[in-house]
Amino acid sequence: MTILLEVRGLHKSFGGVIATKNVSLDVMEGEVHAIIGPNGAGKTTLISQLCGEQFPDAGKVRFNGRDITKASGPARAKMGIARSFQITTVFQDMTLLENVALAAQAHDGHSFHFWRNANSEPEINRQAMERLKEVGLEAKAMTLSREVSHGEHRQLEIAMALATEPKMLLLDEPMAGMGSEESQRMIEILQRFKGQKTMLLVEHDMDAVFALADRISVLVYGEIIATDTPDAIRDNEAVKRAYLGEEA
Amino acid sequence: MRTSNFLTPKWLFSVALLLLLAVTPILSDIFDQAFYLSIATRILILTIAAISLNFILGYGGMISLGHAAFIGIGAYCVGIPIYHDYSSGWLHIFLAITVSALFALITGAISLRTKGVHFIMITMAFAQMAFFLFLSMDEYGGDDGLTIWYDSEFFSGIDIDNPTTFYYICFVSLILVMYLYHRLVASRFGRVIRGAKSNEKRMQALGYSTYNYRLVAYVISGAVCGYAGALMGNYTNFISPDMMGWTRSGELIFMVVLGGTATAFGPVFGVLSFLVLEEMLPNVMDMIHDGAGFYWHLPFGLILLFVVLFVRGGISGFLDRLGKR
Amino acid sequence: MDSALLITQLLNGLQLGILLFLLAAGLTLIFGIMDFINLAHGSFYMVGAYICGTLVVLLDSFVLGVLLAIPLTMAVGYVTEVLIARSLYLRDHLDHVLATFGIILIFDTVTHLIWGAEGMVIPLPDWLNGQITVSETIQLPSYRIAIISVGLLVAAGMYYVVSKTRLGMLIRAGASNRTMVQALGVDIKVLFSLVFAAGAAIAGVAGMMISPITGASIGMGNDIIIVAFVVIIIGGIGSIKGAFVGALIVGMIDTLGRSYLDQLLKLFMNTETAETAAPAISAMLIYILMAIILAVRPQGLFPPKVR
């Protein structure tokens, strides 16, 4: 297996507070790699450095063999990193289909097409519809996204991320705010892509993490204290301490 | 968008309005009221400007408080060549569009780096720069303005000095501009602009460099507004830097909001109501109490406040709600 | 260069800067704390001038007129806040721009109704109307010195309130983090009204100070408020210090630009071009400055620390 995302010595601090401390991490092609950690461990800061919303003080990020440490967010998206957001960020005034079509359109060359009606482009709509099917939303394709439920918004997020035909999915707490039934559905959806899509999954929901992940990295106070298979992580003393320490 | 667009009150109202505008010269001829033709011409020209502002403000979320500058630039692109006796209308239109587009490109490239109140204020600042630039050009009248002694000349046989001919040039221009923006909004490009208003971070995560798209939208908007300015120059025959003052830009925003932002017909409703109010309020108030018309800005300001506070979606939104009953 | 002229111009620049600060201080706090764009802030500048002018004539005392006009302008600000502004805070900036544009129209017309279209001349008492002789060649008009002193006094007072009192602590906290103030259990509505009314009163003071020189006229605040916006954007929105520094920079650059830019341009272009270009460029100077600052440092010179 080859390394798709390679993070080396990533470091970031905000006015003396260290948010990311010497983080090194490999995401292999095809694996589901989960990042877990107690609240305030710096997961969000790490994610935002991986997708180019923030930039590290030190360290390197390589993706697909290229150094992307200084690449902008849109540039990274174009190289094949698709992310979903912790809080829902779909386009409320568009239909679900249009939401996904807008995402599909992003990897179909530039969008300086001024004349043709985008809603009646068969190829883009076909792609978008397929992505909606994959997350089980095809029946609601023509519904405005502000009219669908929270769980469906999360599914739509996944469909949008998929529509850019990424090499890697960066999923920032896809189960956030979901009931157990909705979470279960989301796990099933993600399981369908396991083995086909590389995923970096940041998640609080331990059931989801252990159901999906091939490997898990544990982030505590901005530092990765362990990376291993789910079973090994379950038995890891340092991890137990970090989590129990928080809960005690 | 999915429900039928036909036979709703809004649709009927819009079509009726366009038909009315199409026959206005005939009506004004029958009733011998040249004055109304003049107002209707102004409505058409300002609607073109309002539509172009609506595209970036309504669909794109870019609140430009400097769009009057483009109207002014377009008008001076007629006035200055005529002052030097270059009478070709094609030249005027070419200049109005390219100079406004260039001004939009340069100022937009800087302004679009900012957001929120900073964007509002920097667009206003650039418009003020244009204002002071023309104010200081004594050659072209400066503060006193510039009289345009004759109109642009196109083919022989077309005399745009004739109010009816000029009216129809404006009318056809408006229809073309409406169609242009109708296509633009629904295109891939328009979709990106709408997406960037709704959630810029999301757009960037999808791989869009929103800045570039916004800049192009801003330039298109400026160019079309410049074209409206060229028509305005021919309409008023007198132009002054006053056309570019920030209050003018504020009025243009009000027209767009009054009609309903991010709607196809909103600007038509907005400009029409604005100008009708502007013409009618003083007269009506004078009828109630002689001399009261002088203070028409008071009810006008109150109406403005009322619209902002209580009328969500402007006139277009109101008509939509009417249709849902 | 004529040194007497230079000193006069520096004084003029300082005076403009001080007036701008009085306007910008309220503007920046109102924006910083309530996230409210108030284009109508200049109306309080005008209202202050008219109220003061009326009282000065009525009471035949300049000082008494000013002292009474301040609370009255504050009351006008308070009423505006309670009746209109308050319901706009949670709206978007577009609504702010439009609604306050409407408020300007209303204030201008009401002023017109009450005081007429001609404007108002405000007489200065003799003791303020003289010159202070510094040296044989340099004489300074005493009223300008008075304006600058009053302005500095207000600035010092604001500095004291904002940096040393509990109210000031709340204001500072509000400008950088609104939710924190609410978490402190402060009645945020009262704080908002207070800031708005005080901002209006301070803008009014600026109007009162300038009107004996320029007279009071309808719409007098509408141009200067735009410059005040330039000031707060240069200084960094929400920062009193930024408003102060920004106001002085803008006041100086504008004044000195208008008087000396042609001479500066003549150094590297011919006289004729310099003389035609100078007025245009000097009028645009502050906007050019703002555009440069926004392009390089979008958050302004002194942005409040946490947002």
Buried b (16+ CB within 10 A) or exposed e, B73-86: bbbbbbbbbbbeee
Q: How many CB pairs under 8 A join B and C?
A: 122
CB–CB contact B189 A94 (8 Å) = no
CA distances in angstroms from A44 to A41, A56, A203, B61, B322, listed in the order given: 8, 13, 11, 28, 46
What is the per-residue pLDDT across B28-44, written as a single tens digit (0 to 9) for each?
888 888 888 999 999 99
Mutate to test the interface with C, among B107, B122, B133 (most CBs of C within 10 A): B122
**The domain boundary residue, chosen from A113, A134, A165:** A165
Please state the ipTM of this predicted complex: 0.87
Cβ atoms of B235 and A131 within 8 Å: the answer is: no
C186-222 pLDDT tens trace: 778 888 899 999 999 999 999 999 999 999 999 999 8
Q: How many CB pairs under 8 A join A and B?
A: 95
Cβ–Cβ of C94/B63 closer than 8 Å? yes
Rounded Cα–Cα distance for residues A192 and C279 (Å):
70
Tell which phi-psi region holds residue A9, choosing left (phi > 0), alpha (psi between -120 and 50) or beta: left
Q: Which of B242, B296, B305 to mutate to test the interface with C (most CBs of C within 10 A)?
A: B305
- The answer to whether B135 and B72 are in contact (CB under 8 A) is no
Does pLDDT of B205 surpass 50? yes
| Interval C21-36 mean pLDDT | 90
The DSSP H or E segment spanning A6 is strand A3-14
B54: nearest Cα among B206, B194, B209, B240: B194
Average pLDDT score, chain C: 88
User: Is the Cβ of A146 closer than 8 Å to some Cβ of chain B?
Assistant: no
**Are residues A132 and A20 part of one domain?**
no
Are the Cβ atoms of B195 and A94 closer than 8 angstroms? yes
User: Alpha helices of C1-40 — where are they, by DSSP H?
Assistant: 3-34
Rounded CA gap, B36 and B27, in Å? 9
pLDDT of res. A62: 94
State the pLDDT at residue B5: 59
Q: Is residue B169 part of a domain?
A: yes
pLDDT (tens digit per residue) in A12-30: 988 778 889 999 999 999 9
pLDDT category at A247 given cuts 50, 70, 90 is very low
Q: What is the average per-residue pLDDT within C268-293? A: 84
Nearest CA in chain C to B306: C99
Neighbours of B5 (CB within 10 A): 10
Residue A103 contacts B where some CB pair is shorter than 8 Å: yes
| Residue C134: how many other CB atoms lie within 10 Å | 11
Domain count, chain A: 2
Q: Is the per-residue pLDDT at C1 higher than 60?
A: no
Does one domain contain both A64 and A96? no
> pLDDT of A62-113, one tens digit each?
999 999 999 999 999 999 999 988 887 899 999 999 999 999 999 888 889 8
What's the start-to-end Cα distance of chain C, in Å?
46
Within 10 angstroms of residue A1's Cβ, the number of other Cβ atoms is 8
| Cβ under 8 Å to B: A residues 45-74 | 51, 53, 72-74
C176 or A32, greater pLDDT: A32
Q: Which residues pair with A20 in a beta bridge?
A: A12
Residue B319 lies in a domain: no
A29 and A46: one domain?
A: yes
**Residue C19's pLDDT band (cuts 50, 70, 90):** very high
Residue A100 shares a structural domain with residue A59: no
Mean pLDDT of A218-241: 88
pLDDT band at C298 (very low <50, low <70, confident <90, very high): confident
Name, in order, each residue with C-beta under 8 angstroms of B290's C-beta and a sequence gap of 6 or more. Answer: none
Domain that holds residue B34: 28-244
Residues 6+ apart with CB under 8 A from B48: B170, B173, B174, B177, B224, B225, B227, B228, B231
Nearest CA in chain A to B210: A74
Tell me the CATH number of domain C14-296, given options 1.10.3470, 1.10.10, 1.20.272, 3.40.50: 1.10.3470
CA distance linking residue C172 with residue C306, whole number of Å: 10
Can you tell me whether residue B75 is helix, strand or coil?
helix
A218 and A185 co-located in one domain = yes
pLDDT over 90 percentage in chain C: 49
Can you list the positions of beta strands (E) in C78-227?
A: 131-133, 139-141
In a domain, B86, yes or no: yes
Rounded Cα distance between A226 and A70, Å, is 27
Q: What residues of A are in contact with residue B208 (Cβ under 8 Å)?
A: 74, 77, 106, 111
Residue B239, H or E segment: strand B238-239
Q: Are residues A115 and A19 in the same domain?
A: no
Name chain B contacts of C113, Cβ cutoff 8 Å: 295, 298
* Contact yes or no for B51/B181 (Cβ under 8 A): yes
Q: Does the beta-carbon distance from B183 to A114 stay under 8 Å? A: yes
> Which residue in the set B257, B297, B307 is minimally distant from C105, CB to CB?
B297
User: What's the gap in Å between the CA of B32 and the closest CA on chain A?
Assistant: 42
For residue C47, is pLDDT > 60?
yes
A73/A179 same-domain check: yes
pLDDT given at position C122: 86
**Residue pLDDT, tens place only, B249-300:** 999 999 999 999 999 999 999 999 999 999 889 988 888 888 888 888 999 9
Interface check for A178 against chain B (CB to CB < 8 A): the answer is no
> Are the Cβ atoms of C106 and B298 closer than 8 angstroms?
yes
Which of A122, A143, A165 terminates a domain? The answer is: A165
Residues of chain B positioned with their CB less than 8 A from the CB of A111: 188-189, 191-192, 208, 213
The Cα–Cα gap between C210 and C55 comes to: 16
pLDDT digits (tens, 9 = 90+) for B244-256: 988 899 999 999 9
Domain of residue A43, residue span: 1-80+167-248
Quick one: DSSP state of residue C85?
G
> Is A85 within the bounds of a domain?
no
Please report residues of B whose CB lies closer than 8 A to that of A128. none
The confidence score (pLDDT) of residue A245 equals 59
Residue B201 placed within a domain: yes
Domain boundary among A149, A165, A181: A165
Q: Please check whether residue A124 is in contact with residue A108, taking contact to mean a CB–CB distance below 8 angstroms.
A: yes
3-state SS, one letter per residue, for C222-268: HHHHHHHHHHHHHHCCCCHHHHHHHHHHHHHHHHHHHHHHHHHHHCC
Would the pLDDT of B7 be above 80?
Answer: no
A73 with A172, same domain: the answer is yes
Residue A74 domain-assigned (yes or no): yes
Q: How confident is the model at residue C266 (pLDDT cuts 50, 70, 90)?
A: confident
Report which of C139, C123, C120 is spatially closest to residue C131, judged by C-alpha positions. Answer: C139
Contact B295 C280 (CB under 8 A): no
What pLDDT sits at residue C307? Answer: 40
Q: Are A54 and A104 in a shared domain?
A: no
Write the Ramachandran bin of A3: left for phi over 0, alpha for psi from -120 to 50, otherwise beta: beta
Q: Do A113 and B188 touch (CB under 8 A)?
A: yes
Cα angle C293-C298-C302, degrees, rounded to a multiple of 5 = 80
Q: Across the interface, do C106 and B253 touch by the CB < 8 Å criterion? A: no
Beta sheet of A81-84, edge-to-edge order: A81-84, A168-172, A198-202, A32-36, A215-220, A223-228
Does residue C142 have a pLDDT over 90? no
- Collect contacts of B291-299 with beta carbons under 8 A, ≥24 apart: B294/C112, B295/C109, B295/C112, B295/C113, B297/C105, B297/C106, B297/C108, B297/C109, B298/C105, B298/C106, B298/C109, B298/C110, B298/C113
Residues pairing with A25 in the sheet: A7
For residue B206, being part of any structural domain is answered with yes
Largest CA distance in chain B: 63
How far is Cα A168 from Cα C1, in angstroms, rounded to an integer? 68
List Cβ neighbours of B250 (8 Å cut-off, separation of 6 or more).
B65, C39, C97, C98, C101
pLDDT exceeds 60 at position B1:
no
Contact partners, residue A191, CB within 8 Å, separation at least 6: A211, A212
CATH number at residue A24: 3.40.50.300
* Structure confidence by residue, pLDDT tens digits, C98-125: 999 999 999 999 999 999 988 898 888 8
Q: At what angle do helices C220-235 and B116-135 cross, to 10 degrees?
A: 130
Q: Helices B246-259 and B314-324 sit at what angle, rounded to 10 degrees?
A: 10
d(CA A169, CA A198) in angstroms, rounded, equals: 6
Interface test with B, best of C88, C105, C230 (most B CBs within 10 A): C105
pLDDT at residue C176 is higher than 80:
no
What domain count does chain B have? 1
C93·B120 Cβ contact <8 A? yes
Whether A140 contacts A196, CB under 8 Å: no
Distance (Å, whole) CA B27 – CA B169:
17
Contacts of B232 (CB under 8 A, 6+ apart): B45, B71, B74, B75, B239, B243
Model confidence band, residue B214 (pLDDT cutoffs 50, 70, 90): very high
Domain ranges of chain C: 14-296
Q: Are residues A117 and A22 in the same domain?
A: no
Whether the pLDDT of residue C306 is over 80: the answer is: no
How far apart (Å, rounded) are the C-alpha atoms in residues B188 and B195?
Answer: 10
Closest CA to A27 of A191, A181, A200: A200
Domain assignment of residue B121, yes or no: yes
Give domain status of residue B6, yes or no. no
And the tokens for A187? 């796990």
- Name the minimum distance, in Å, from the CA of B65 to any CA of chain C: 9
The percentage of residues in chain A with a pLDDT greater than 70, rounded to a whole number, is: 98
Please give the structure tokens belonging to residue A52.
Answer: 């180019």
Are B244 and B127 contacting, i.e. CB atoms less than 8 angstroms apart? yes
Chains that touch C (3 or more CB pairs under 8 A): B
Which pLDDT band holds residue A244 (cuts at 50, 70, 90)?
Answer: low
pLDDT of res. A14: 85
Given this model, what pLDDT does residue C267 score? Answer: 82
pLDDT digits (tens, 9 = 90+) for A121-146: 899 999 999 999 999 999 999 999 99
